[in-house]
């Protein structure tokens, strides 16, 4: 069972930023393998960063509509603990990936926007997958909607739509715990406390909100976010 990260920082390209993120208390660090991203990192370069994270934080690889074979090729070069699927992937993608030994047992975070009822069928599909026996599912990551970009936009998601948690985040029976939620999209030091209180997520994810430029992180911002997150969850 993969632990749900309360604090995930994403889009790393430099070793010094990885070290600073771990020092700030990150539970997970994301490496972006989507070549169109401003935070893209080559798998060979990412391998060195992955080695520094090993056993200290969850190593999350971000992919957008890559095939299981393409993802397996990346994992062969750069060890990962969790795959973050940021495209139009379905649970069938995960099932198909299991023929690749290197992908078996890796956690799955599914990123998607949540705009309201129009997205409920997609959310429900993943909630059902997460309830399956032996599922590798970790959480749904709700990001801001953008018709062109796949995350890292700096825009905020619709926090007001997430608390109380929509019914699509529960299984069909409607009982038990809701599907874990990681909130992303435009979170930074100035609004992190508000986001945590408004959406009541299980964790938060930041990229642009801890940067001086795409892929270049701000150690002081990461320290401040780490302090806010620890304080919030310590209060229960």
Distance, CA of 210 to CA of 18 (rounded, Å) = 12
The answer to whether 211 and 7 are in contact (CB under 8 A) is no
pLDDT of residue 177: 84
* Distance from C-alpha of 98 to C-alpha of 104, rounded to nearest angstrom: 5
Contact 37, 61 (CB under 8 A): no
Give the span between the Cα atoms of 98 and 150, in whole angstroms: 25
The pTM score is: 0.94
Question: Could you give the domains of the chain?
Answer: 7-234 (3.20.20.70)
Give pLDDT, residue 155: 75
> Looking up tokens 């993120």, which residue turns up?
21
Judged by average pLDDT, the poorest of 40-44, 55-59, 130-134, 174-178 is: 174-178
Q: Residue 72 contacts by C-beta under 8 Å, 6 or more apart in sequence? A: 97, 100, 102, 103
**Could you tell me which of 49, 59, 61 has the C-alpha nearest to residue 29?**
59
Sign of torsion, CA 173 175 176 181?
positive
Q: Averaged over 197-204, what is the pLDDT? A: 97
Cβ 43 vs Cβ 77: under 8 Å: yes
Tokens 């798998």 belong to residue: 43
- Nearest 10 degrees: Cα torsion 192, 26, 5, 48: 130
pLDDT, tens digit (0-9, with 9 covering 90-100), for 96-147: 999 999 999 999 999 999 999 999 999 999 999 999 988 999 999 999 866 5
């Amino acid at each position: 069972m993969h632990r749900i990260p309360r604090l995930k920082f994403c889009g790393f390209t430099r070793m010094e930023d990885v070290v600073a993120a771990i020092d700030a208390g990150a539970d997970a660090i994301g490496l972006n393998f989507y070549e169109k991203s401003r935070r893209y990192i080559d798998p060979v370069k990412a391998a060195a960063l992955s080695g520094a994270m090993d056993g200290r934080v969850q190593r999350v690889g971000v992919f957008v509509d890559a095939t299981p074979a393409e993802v397996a090729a990346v994992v062969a070069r750069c060890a990962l603990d969790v795959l973050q699927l940021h495209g139009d992937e379905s649970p069938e993608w995960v099932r198909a990936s299991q023929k690749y030994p290197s992908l078996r047992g890796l956690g799955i975070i599914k990123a998607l926007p949540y705009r309201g009822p129009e997205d409920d069928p997609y959310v429900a599909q993943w909630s059902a997958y997460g309830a399956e026996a032996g599922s590798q599912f970790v959480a749904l990551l709700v990001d801001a909607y953008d018709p062109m970009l796949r995350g890292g936009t700096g825009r905020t998601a619709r926090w007001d739509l997430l608390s109380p948690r929509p019914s699509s985040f529960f299984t069909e029976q409607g009982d038990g715990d809701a599907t874990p939620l990681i909130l992303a999209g435009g979170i930074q030091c100035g609004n992190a406390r508000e986001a945590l209180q408004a959406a009541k997520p299980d964790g938060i994810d930041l990229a642009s909100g801890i940067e001086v430029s795409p892929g270049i992180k701000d150690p002081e911002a990461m320290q401040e976010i780490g302090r806010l997150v620890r304080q919030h969850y310590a209060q229960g």
